[in-house]
A and B are shown apart, each in its own frame.
Chain A
């Protein structure tokens, strides 16, 4: 048992050291970062003492960028290079964007996802978001004077695969290890539920700057189970601003604006909207670039009227989510209001009327998502607090389907299925000797593929030639705990693994990210190498910790010979990782240890299931 003497679990680090993990709420309007301090989740402040950072990035001619308040200050002077509400463009083509004519940007309609032409060239929404994320990471590192182990990043529950993938890509670009993408309403439910010890069915109504989510959850004994989710990933406070701006333009009969007027009138309308949450009427005064000036009185009643259809849209989603959850209104214990836009009186009124309950506004709607994410991040990196464990069970928000002949969609994974989830589907050839076939995966509820979001088009190649209908190609769609899809395929008759090239209809290939890392952060080759080496070293440490921990508890599941097979690559990696300068060598050593533990991991998991099911209470297990 020489192995156990190498290091007791946890001793390769300082045993009292907690791993630092953060929660990031990457919002349409504002972004926040939070972490656990003394067992309490807190928002980390910027150097200037701000808790929120405006989600704004400005590209300067000298190759530098500004973000947050610094960028906000220039938003009106330099509208074309100052990107606000970039979240609305994530994973979206230009044709998906409403009000694009009222936006001051120089859009480029790239395939899959749009880009914005700036003084620094074309920028994708992923790159813009990465600028925000990198600053939040920096803010957290400064706050702890240490490196961050990983982050939970929140996304709207109703984000589709393209939007989720884009968010994860942005985090990777910002040098963040993503522990999990967490749905915003689920994060809010976690923060609310843990703070109040709530049990029962809760609705989370989350209206942010650009997105709307409704999630119905059941809270019981440390389990947060999402029963259904619904929403609109293109509906938020921004749309209320645009509705008000349209009302102003209609009132003064103006049809076109220059970029500066577009930006500054929109920001003015946002101010008016926010003031109307606490005042019954506001006098809107504005002077256009051509010196024409207007004065317009906006009452709460007028505002309610012009935004009525937007409020209705939220209620339609709420009804659908309630139906999907098979929950009646009187079963709902409480409605938790999340997101700054829920401060608007018409929203409060509509929610109260529908649920026949006063909405719960007793937590800060701007901060609750980040606080929940911080709690989850802390749990995920393994900072266990005794008697303080919980489990989140989430769902996929939109159905996944495959395009069939004639452009119809066949559903393979229905919306609101608990994740992770997988589904296998068999295809056959319809011509003799056919060796390839194309598959188109879409996401959405509509019957025609063209009305759904295209996720991936790929070709299965290398099918052995057979008569028509003889081949049986099993395609497996796997959705992981981040809600992200991956696809694999196998020809069942011959057992040939058909090669598969999944071409995302959006987003980036891995190579693209590496390129952007090189360009965007202007690292010299040497820096790139150091960074890569550092990443592999962290990975090596993580793996060594994990393997040693599992040997400590479950050594008895292995024979001596089997133990030997793990011990060899373990020793090798143990000796290699502090010394090696070669990224490749380290990677190989990590891979071989990982492979050697595959069977062991399976046995441990089975043993744990059996142990869990043989009558012990959860709290008695470890």
Chain B
């Protein structure tokens, strides 16, 4: 089957990190990832195989698709984190488990109220957004420590789920700001 079922790791590559020959950890050398991605696409992109045989074209489509998925997953911190949890055999349960500590939920409600109060006020919305962005950056630092130094995937997952709330909140503000103009 060759690398046909890359995603099921039957092929030559066990995971996205190994695919790009990067260490399996949360901290990532972004320029190195970008470079590896481009090197792979230079080889496998369908544009490189237009005159090839049908089997070559199929291979190219599958691996280029895999490379895109792998790159999109690794380049975004939260996606990368959830992926590391999956590799460690932990189910993130994003759809089924929404329980969070009460304190965190209270804070979320305060943020939502602040967002609603800001209504069409661009300055206020931007201020709120950068405040939450700072919080998110802090979370990402902590998540890195949990994964890479303390090797505590369970706690890392907990923080990841909280960070996802913050990321969605930032997207929501983005959307509201775009509606203003």
Q: Do A and B come from one complex?
A: yes
What secondary structure prevails in chain A residues at the interface with B? Answer: helix
Asked if A319 is an interface residue, CB under 8 A from chain B, the answer is yes
Cβ-defined partner of B3 (8 Å) among A391, A393, A543, A602: A602
Kindly state the separation between the CA atoms of A593 and B19 in the bound complex, as whole angstroms: 29
> Would you call A419 and B45 a contact (CB within 8 A)?
no
> Would you call B63 and A391 a contact (CB within 8 A)?
no
Q: How far is the CB of A599 from chain B (nearest CB, A)?
A: 5
Asked if A606 is an interface residue, CB under 8 A from chain B, the answer is yes
Bitwise interface map of B from 45 to 68 toward A, beta carbon under 8 Å scored 1, else 0: 111001111111011110111001
A547 cross-chain contacts in B, Cβ below 8 A: 53
Kindly state the separation between the CA atoms of A606 and B13 in the bound complex, as whole angstroms: 9
Asked if A180 is an interface residue, CB under 8 A from chain B, the answer is yes
Asked if B39 is an interface residue, CB under 8 A from chain A, the answer is yes
Q: How far is the CB of B23 from chain A (nearest CB, A)?
A: 14
A478 cross-chain contacts in B, Cβ below 8 A: 61, 65
> Would you call A223 and B38 a contact (CB within 8 A)?
yes
> Would you call B181 and A546 a contact (CB within 8 A)?
no
- Given A418-B72, A422-B65, A481-B45, A613 and B11 touching (CB < 8 A)? no
B64: nearest chain-A partner, CB-CB: A420
Q: Interface size of B by Cβ–Cβ distance < 8 Å?
A: 42
Kindly state the separation between the CA atoms of A252 and B181 in the bound complex, as whole angstroms: 36
Asked if A386 is an interface residue, CB under 8 A from chain B, the answer is no
Q: Spot the interface stretch: A51-59, A274-282, A376-384, A525-533.
A: A376-384
> Would you call A597 and B56 a contact (CB within 8 A)?
yes
> Would you call A179 and B72 a contact (CB within 8 A)?
no
A residues 507-546 with Cβ under 8 Å of B?
542-543, 545-546
Cβ-defined partner of A393 (8 Å) among B41, B58, B178: B41
> Would you call A601 and B50 a contact (CB within 8 A)?
no
B residues 53-101 with Cβ under 8 Å of A?
53-56, 58-61, 63-65, 68-69, 71-72
> Would you call B63 and A323 a contact (CB within 8 A)?
no
> Would you call A613 and B38 a contact (CB within 8 A)?
no
B69 cross-chain contacts in A, Cβ below 8 A: 421-422
Q: How far is the CB of A528 from chain B (nearest CB, A)?
A: 23
A422 cross-chain contacts in B, Cβ below 8 A: 65, 69
Which size class do A's interface residues fall under?
35 or more
B38 cross-chain contacts in A, Cβ below 8 A: 223, 391
Asked if B156 is an interface residue, CB under 8 A from chain A, the answer is no
Asked if A434 is an interface residue, CB under 8 A from chain B, the answer is no
Kindly state the separation between the CA atoms of A247 and B7 in the bound complex, as whole angstroms: 58
Asked if A392 is an interface residue, CB under 8 A from chain B, the answer is yes
> Would you call A598 and B2 a contact (CB within 8 A)?
yes
Most buried by A among B20, B47, B178: B47
Asked if B157 is an interface residue, CB under 8 A from chain A, the answer is no
> Would you call A605 and B63 a contact (CB within 8 A)?
yes
B4 cross-chain contacts in A, Cβ below 8 A: 602
Q: How far is the CB of A415 from chain B (nearest CB, A)?
A: 13
Asked if B172 is an interface residue, CB under 8 A from chain A, the answer is no
B72 cross-chain contacts in A, Cβ below 8 A: 417-418
> Would you call A418 and B68 a contact (CB within 8 A)?
yes
Q: How far is the CB of B70 from chain A (nearest CB, A)?
A: 11
Kindly state the separation between the CA atoms of A358 and B44 in the bound complex, as whole angstroms: 38
Asked if B150 is an interface residue, CB under 8 A from chain A, the answer is no
Residues of B within 8 A of A (CB): 1-4, 7, 11-12, 19-21, 36, 38-47, 50-56, 58-61, 63-65, 68-69, 71-72, 174, 178, 181
Known: A382-B51, A421-B68, A605-B63. 11 other contacts (CB 8 A): A180-B50, A319-B178, A323-B174, A393-B41, A420-B65, A424-B7, A481-B47, A481-B64, A550-B56, A605-B59, A613-B20
Q: 27 A-B contacts, Cβ less than 8 Å apart?
A: A320-B178, A379-B47, A382-B51, A391-B47, A392-B47, A393-B45, A417-B68, A418-B68, A419-B68, A420-B64, A422-B69, A424-B7, A478-B61, A480-B46, A546-B51, A597-B56, A602-B2, A602-B4, A605-B3, A605-B43, A608-B43, A609-B40, A612-B42, A612-B43, A613-B20, A613-B36, A613-B39
